[in-house]
Chain A
Amino acid sequence: GAVVSQHPSWVICKSGTSVKIECRSLDFQATTMFWYRQFPKQSLMLMATSNEGSKATYEQGVEKDKFLINHASLTLSTLTVTSAHPEDSSFYICSASEGRGYGYTFGSGTRLTVV
């Protein structure tokens, strides 16, 4: 079945630094990728939708200058958290769509801790 690889699985960074999270579709071309944030014991909150070769579409309230998304190819999307602060600590999950409504394949998530 479809596999999405997300790295790193966990990362600790210092406040003020930037962190990049990668999301790769391993056996299919992902026309669209999604980035979510999940707080403990809560649902997934969509941050942005990225389409290969075009600018990401951010949800209301998400700072696009802080959460930079790049979808440079049909198999890779990256989320960069710039100038990270402790309040950015969270669980970030990506998912990818083949564009046919079959469902979405999710990455295993990245736990970000900013100290």
Chain B
Amino acid sequence: AQTVTQSQPEMSVQEAETVTLSCTYDTSESDYYLFWYKQPPSRQMILVIRQEAYKQQNATENRFSVNFQKAAKSFSLKISDSQLGDAAMYFCAYRQKGGSEKLVFGKGTKLTVNP
């Protein structure tokens, strides 16, 4: 079974600085999707960024980018120029391509942004 591990229960960053959240996963599949979701205090889950495993180029969305290392099964999220609104729980998630569409979530990392 696929598993997703987020080894940092909590992280903090100063406003305007850069922070990287770690995520590793375990799968025997060669093609799959990886996601980072943000859950602010409102508890609304928001998609931050998405990566398809067959695409070697790292996904970017404005201040958010990933470092996808397929061989190492690593999918870290980098947040640049951190803003107070980035404070939230961040969940890494995996989904196989084809078959079950269900997401497998990591336990999450709580990010605090200090002014």
Contact = CB atoms under 8 A, between A and B. Distances in A.
A42 interface: yes
Contact of B102 (A46, A99, A108, A109): A46
A104 B105 contact: no
A101 B33 contact: yes
A91 B105 contact: no
Nearest to B32: A101
A43 B33 contact: no
Given A101-B33, A101-B97, A106 B44 contact: yes
Contacts of B35: 103-104
B30 interface: no
Given A34-B103, A101-B33, A44 B91 contact: yes
Contacts of B47: 103-105
A59 to B, nearest CB: 9
A49 interface: yes
B101 A49 contact: yes
A108 B33 contact: no
Interface residues of A, number: 22
Chain A residues touching B, majority SS: strand
Interface of B: 33, 35, 37, 42-47, 50, 52, 91, 95, 97, 100-103, 105-108, 110
27 contacts: A32-B101, A34-B102, A41-B110, A43-B107, A43-B108, A44-B105, A46-B103, A49-B101, A91-B43, A93-B43, A93-B45, A95-B45, A99-B101, A101-B33, A101-B52, A101-B97, A102-B50, A103-B33, A103-B47, A103-B50, A104-B35, A104-B47, A104-B103, A106-B46, A108-B42, A108-B43, A109-B43
Given A43-B107, A101-B101, A105-B47, 18 more contacts: A34-B102, A34-B103, A42-B108, A43-B91, A44-B105, A91-B43, A93-B43, A93-B45, A95-B45, A95-B103, A99-B101, A101-B52, A101-B95, A103-B47, A106-B37, A106-B45, A108-B44, A109-B43
